[in-house]
């Protein structure tokens, strides 16, 4: 048998913890025999959930952690003080090599800060970007960076472009991914100071397939495979997806419920409509990796249910087998 991929999972993080997290972990080990999960958190609560499931007991371990970091806590302080929390314990397991990866639906801030502080960045990596998959008209794109570190410098964005290309090519399977920089126009001379300074650096970067500027309008249309931006813009893009999507869905639903006529029509169209809309949600794509670390850290949406947790864990297998961290290390170290 091949080597196991060992994934620490924050059993206490997210809106549906621990029930859905534990369920997702069980589904992951049942779906792929290369996976071993370490559930971190309150032992009794986790074990009470595990009793409801059937699984290979040699591939799920419970690691007790008494504390829980709440979403509202200031992350730096929480990481420093709550050493016995499900997040901090799991991150140390990645750091010391007990685990290959960590998946959490808990505090984004704590996962981002903890990932950089405890697991640590690959030598030469200036910043570890958070890179969620976003839906496009006929596929997906990688949005890099959506993390907590705003006010990026041009050199950061160049590293994001390289790391994002490696991820898209090796984990998602998009050959020679098209890299675009988010801009307010298509021309090279447009943009703010950051974009103007970064543009020529990307243009002169032989290892990536840089296609120039991508306007926000073209991101949902699939204008680029790797969408490079600093974290403030990335956050705005990601949350506009959620906001516009949610309001439009409400409008569609309202339209379907206006009269008896539309209600009958709704009954006829709903299943097909659900199907076509399904792919176009930012929550469909499991976790967002925090790239550039000495190990994999994956942040999933706070509202994640078992299916997202399962997918995020399974994603770690590809990440490890494709040796993404090594590939990033090679590419970034080469530069320095």
Binding site for its own copies (CB under 8 A): 74, 136-137, 148, 150-151, 182, 184, 189, 191-193, 195, 215-221, 231-233, 235-248, 250-252, 254-256, 258-259, 261-262, 264-269, 272-277, 280
Query: Cβ of residue 35: shortest distance to its own copies, in angstroms?
Result: 33
Q: Give the orientation angle of helix 324-335 with respect to helix 306-321, to 10 degrees.
A: 50
Using the minimum distance from each CB to its own copies, give the nearer residue, 31 or 184.
184
Instruction: Report strand pairing: 35-41 vs 5-10.
Output: parallel
Question: Nearer to its own copies by C-beta: 19 or 238?
Answer: 238
Least distance in angstroms from the C-beta of 150 to its own copies: 4
Identify which of residues 22 and 143 has a Cβ nearer to its own copies in the complex.
143
Nearest to 172 by CA among 229, 230, 102, 225: 225
Which residue's entry shows tokens 């176009």?
A: 280
The distance of closest approach from Cβ of residue 19 to its own copies in the complex, given in angstroms and rounded to an integer, is 26
C-beta of 182 vs 306, nearer to its own copies: 182
Q: Which is nearer to its own copies, 86 or 149 (CB)?
A: 149
CB of 123 to its own copies, least distance (A): 27
Sign, CA dihedral 64-70-71-76, equals negative
Contacts of 11 (CB under 8 A, 6+ apart): 17, 18, 21, 22, 25, 39, 40, 41, 42, 45, 46, 62, 86
CB of 185 to its own copies, least distance (A): 8
Give CA–CA dist 280/174, Å, rounded.
Answer: 19
């Amino acid at each position: 048998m091949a080597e196991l991929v060992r994934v620490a999972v924050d059993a206490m993080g997210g809106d549906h913890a621990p029930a859905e997290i534990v369920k997702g972990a069980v589904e992951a080990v049942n779906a792929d025999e290369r996976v071993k999960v370490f559930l971190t958190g309150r032992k009794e609560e986790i074990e009470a959930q595990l009793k409801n499931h059937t699984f290979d007991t040699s591939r799920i371990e419970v690691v007790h952690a008494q504390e829980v970091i709440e979403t509202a806590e200031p992350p730096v302080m929480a990481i420093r003080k709550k050493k016995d929390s499900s997040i901090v314990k799991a991150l140390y397991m990645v750091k010391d090599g007990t685990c290959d990866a960590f998946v959490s639906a808990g505090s984004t801030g704590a996962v981002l800060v903890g990932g950089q502080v405890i697991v640590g960045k690959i030598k030469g990596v200036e910043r570890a970007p958070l890179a969620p998959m976003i839906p496009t008209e006929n596929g997906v794109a990688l949005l890099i960076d959506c993390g907590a570190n705003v006010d990026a410098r041009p050199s950061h964005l160049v590293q994001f472009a390289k790391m994002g290309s490696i991820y898209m090519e090796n984990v998602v399977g998009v050959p020679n991914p098209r890299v675009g920089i988010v801009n307010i126009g298509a021309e090279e001379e447009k943009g703010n100071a950051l974009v103007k300074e970064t543009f020529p650096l990307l243009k002169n970067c032989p290892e990536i397939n840089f296609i120039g500027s991508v306007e926000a309008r073209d991101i949902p249309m699939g204008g680029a495979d790797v969408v490079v931006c600093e974290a403030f813009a990335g956050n705005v893009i990601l949350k506009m997806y959620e906001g516009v999507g949610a309001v439009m869905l409400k409008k569609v639903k309202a339209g379907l419920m206006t009269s008896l006529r539309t209600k009958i029509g709704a009954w006829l169209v709903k299943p097909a409509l659900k199907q076509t809309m399904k792919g176009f949600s930012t929550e469909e794509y499991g976790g967002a990796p925090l790239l550039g670390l000495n190990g994999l850290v994956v942040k999933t949406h706070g509202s994640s249910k078992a299916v997202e947790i399962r997918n995020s864990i399974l994603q770690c297998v590809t990440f490890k087998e494709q040796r993404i961290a090594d590939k990033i290390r090679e590419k970034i170290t080469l530069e320095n």
